[in-house]
Chain A
Amino acid sequence: MLSRLVIVSANALKSSGPLGAGLVQAPRALHTSSQSLAPVPTLPEKGGKVRHGIIPEELFQLLYPKTGVTGPYMLGTGLLVYLLSKEVYVINHETIAASTIGAIIIYGIKKFGPSVAAFADKLNEDKVAKAQEVKDLAMSSLTQAVEDEKKEQWRVEGRSMLFDAKRNNVAMLLETNYRERLHMVTNEVKRRLDYQIGLQDLQRRMAQEHMVNWVEKSVVGSITPQQEKESIAKCITDLKALAQATQTKATA
């Protein structure tokens, strides 16, 4: 009960003082032993049994075969009587003080023992729970890491498909570019040829028109006034003849 609180501060006990330090160093000082420290052996659940708080149970077990259950008590009574009668234990003011203190201590232990024990147990449990939590967290994070690793490995298998797709993309781009340029080249060549054709047509047309104009002008210029009168008189006689012909045709 009280010693459970001691355990709560047992770390301080272990790390302080030469005796306490020896407790921690002793298992590690024997480097020749083949024992390993991990996993740490668990603490025993209960300590050695002690009766009435100060007398170890071993004494009772030692005396049981010879004297039965009451043996140690008889021994204690006899011892007490001897000490008192021979005044090896002297009754003085300190006895009164010690007895009152003892009574208070016993009363306190009997009354508050279980609650203090429960409190110390709860502290220990909290510590253990925290450590367990840390361990569980570490375990879960590690399993998660393992799963993630497996997933990454699965992803690596798909990388070849990714590269194939990329290669296809690049090939398509190249093809598209090539066709574009092909079209451009064709168009440009056709444009230039059309231009040449247009140029030739233009030239021929201009030559034609120029020739026609020149012929007309020379013909018109060559018609002299004399020829004009003659042609007009011929035209009139032709018309008269025609008129006569049609007249006769109409009356016939």
Chain B
Amino acid sequence: MEARKHNPSGRSLGQVTLGDLPGWLARRTPQRPRDAVNMVQKGWQWYFRKYIDVRKGGVGGVGMLLAGYCVLSYVWTYPHLKQDRWRKYH
């Protein structure tokens, strides 16, 4: 019931098959900016409720956010970091 409420467009990611993947992604794309904002909000709420809004949280809740931030900032600065490569050809 919960899964159906959260995913009106078919199954969740664990059950979707590889052939169906593009169609599944197409169904779940936001059509309007409002949908994108909603998705981001729901994602944050899910993450917050699962990892942070608990009685005895751990370092994972905030740690994963920081790790994600590190990875994201590395990805965004990769074009500049490419210049520090030790070898030109790999």
Residues of A in contact with B (beta carbons under 8 Å apart):
1-4, 6-7, 10, 19, 22-23, 26, 43-50, 53-54, 56, 62, 85-87, 89-92, 98, 109, 113, 117, 121, 124
**Chain B, interface size: which category?**
20 to 34
Please state if B53 and A10 are interface contacts (CB–CB under 8 Å).
Answer: yes
Whether A46 contacts B44 in the complex (CB less than 8 A), given A2-B62, A54-B67, comes out as no
> Can you list 20 contacts pairing A with B, beta carbon distance less than 8 Å?
A1-B58, A2-B59, A3-B52, A3-B58, A3-B62, A6-B57, A6-B62, A7-B57, A19-B41, A19-B44, A47-B51, A47-B58, A48-B60, A50-B51, A53-B58, A53-B59, A54-B63, A92-B84, A98-B70, A121-B56
Residues of A within 8 A of B14 (CB): 62
Please state if B59 and A1 are interface contacts (CB–CB under 8 Å).
Answer: yes
Interface residues of B in 6-47 (CB under 8 A from A): 14, 40-41, 44-45
Report which residue of A23, A89, A121 has the largest number of chain B beta carbons within 10 angstroms of its beta carbon.
A23
Please state if A3 and B48 are interface contacts (CB–CB under 8 Å).
Answer: no
A54 to B40, CA, bound (A): 21
Please state if A26 and B41 are interface contacts (CB–CB under 8 Å).
Answer: yes
B76 within 8 A of A: no
A85 to B89, CA, bound (A): 11
Which residue in chain B gives the minimum CB-CB distance to A124? Answer: B55
Which residue in chain B gives the minimum CB-CB distance to A51? Answer: B60
Please state if B54 and A44 are interface contacts (CB–CB under 8 Å).
Answer: yes
Residues of A within 8 A of B4 (CB): none
A54 to B51, CA, bound (A): 12
Chain A nearest Cβ from B14, distance in angstroms? 8
Please state if B48 and A87 are interface contacts (CB–CB under 8 Å).
Answer: no
A90 touches which of B48, B63, B64, B85 (Cβ 8 Å) = B85
18 A-B pairs besides A50-B64, A92-B81 with CB distance below 8 A are A3-B51, A3-B57, A3-B61, A6-B62, A7-B52, A7-B53, A19-B40, A22-B45, A43-B53, A45-B55, A45-B56, A50-B61, A54-B60, A54-B67, A87-B90, A90-B85, A91-B86, A92-B84
